[in-house]
Amino acid sequence: MPCRISSGGSGGVGAAGYADTFQRVSQLTYTAPMTNQLLFEAGFSSYFSRWGWMEPPGAITNLNQVFDQGLGLTYRALDWNFNRINHNLNWRGAASYVTGAHALKFGYQGGYDIDEGTSFYNQTRLNLRFNNGVPTQFTMRYGNWYNNQRTEHVALYAQDQWTMNRLTLQGALRYERAWSHFAKRYRREMAAPDRKRLLDLLAALSRDASFSLGCYCADESRCHRSILRALLIEKGAKPAMAMVIRGTTRSRSSRSITCARASGANPARTAGITQTAIHRGARIIPAPSQSDSGGPATDR
């Protein structure tokens, strides 16, 4: 059943999105008693969900959005919306042999998970932050980006039980494996000519500029950050620069480049870096200085 929810934006339909979402669950089970001792079973399940903040009819997308933190007001245009799909498929099969004193079962389980979506930004790729009418920050968007992830998992198991008088013996074995195609996909995407030039640029800048790259994922094992670090090192980036790729906080799902002055760098050059070094899911943030009390960069 579709569910439509307003985002509650303070700027009306021009600056707010809405949710047009739905979920669907399907299940199928099969049992086949072959004899009074042998039983075959099988099952399949599917969960499908579409969610996100969609662009409403009449939304304004050709003006810069403004957020005034002093007034708590967002106005002028819609800045961001996204469509997301999750589809989880699971299946299983098993054979049981039961004699009374002896119970034996073999089984298989498998699954395939799909996570994909697209984020859209307005046509200007720029939004502004004010404080009681005074501009304090501007953010440049990379543009629309597409997320496409696939994971698979399988499991095999066997369990046995023997009963002799008042003694029962049980044993079981299970094998599981899960894998993802993300690393190969990401490396293939970053091999495109424009992104390859971007990696070369960042590696070269790391030799005489002090800056760090941050992504929005809290857990490095579940995002592209570790792969990006390896790619930069392969391009000759200084290990110290590659190691400060870290998680940053965010108030909502977005991909942006926020202007920030790099430590010890020329402000004009920093602005050039900010506009040039654009990477999906990354932004330029000040690198920690030598006087920082913290040790290695951590998620924050």
> How would DSSP label each residue in 248-300?
---SSS--EEE--PPTTS-HHHHHHHHHH---TTEEEEPPPPTT-S--S----
One-character DSSP codes across 186-221: HHHHHTSHHHHHHHHHHHHHTTT---EEEES-S-GG
Last residue of a domain, one of 180, 209, 234: 180
Average pLDDT over residues 32-57: 91
Residues 157 and 20 in one domain: yes
State residue 275's pLDDT score.
Answer: 34
Average pLDDT over residues 124-153: 84
Residues 112 and 260 in one domain: no
Of these ranges, 54-58, 89-93, 181-185, 194-198, the one predicted with the greatest mean pLDDT is 89-93
State residue 241's pLDDT score.
Answer: 56
Identify the domain containing residue 113 by its residue range: 3-180
pLDDT at 188 over 80: yes
- How do beta strands 65-68 and 282-285 pair? unpaired
Does any domain span residue 296? no
Q: Of the given ranges (7-21, 157-171, 258-272), which has the lowest mean pLDDT? A: 258-272
Residues 203 and 174 in one domain: no
Residues 168 and 25 in one domain: yes
Long-range pairs, 199-206, Cβ under 8 A, ≥24: 199/231, 199/232, 199/235, 200/235, 201/276, 201/277, 202/232, 202/235, 202/237, 202/277, 202/279, 203/232, 203/235, 203/236, 203/237, 204/236, 205/273, 205/277, 206/232, 206/237, 206/238, 206/241, 206/242
Residues 150 and 39 in one domain: yes
Residues 124 and 202 in one domain: no
Residues 159 and 15 in one domain: yes
Does any domain span residue 67? yes
Last residue of a domain, one of 146, 180, 214: 180
Last residue of a domain, one of 135, 153, 180: 180
Taking phi over 0 as left and psi of -120 to 50 as alpha, with beta for the rest, 177 belongs to: beta
State residue 218's pLDDT score.
Answer: 66
Token pair of 102 as six digits: 């002896």
Whether the model clears a pTM of 0.85, i.e. scores above it, the answer is no
Does any domain span residue 187? no
Residues 133 and 225 in one domain: no
- Report the domain count for the chain: 2
Residues 25 and 135 in one domain: yes
Residues 135 and 33 in one domain: yes
Does any domain span residue 293? no
Residues 59 and 175 in one domain: yes
Using pLDDT thresholds of 50, 70 and 90, give the confidence band for residue 211.
low
Does any domain span residue 128? yes
pLDDT at 40 over 70: yes
Token pair of 254 as six digits: 């977005």
Residues 117 and 167 in one domain: yes
pLDDT at 191 over 80: yes
Average pLDDT over residues 245-265: 41
Does any domain span residue 290? no
Does any domain span residue 131? yes
Q: Which residue has the higher pLDDT, 69 or 220?
A: 69
Q: Of the given ranges (12-16, 71-75, 191-195), which has the lowest mean pLDDT? A: 12-16
Q: Which residue has the higher pLDDT, 57 or 214?
A: 57
State residue 162's pLDDT score.
Answer: 93
Does any domain span residue 168? yes
Q: What percent of the chain has pLDDT over 90?
A: 28
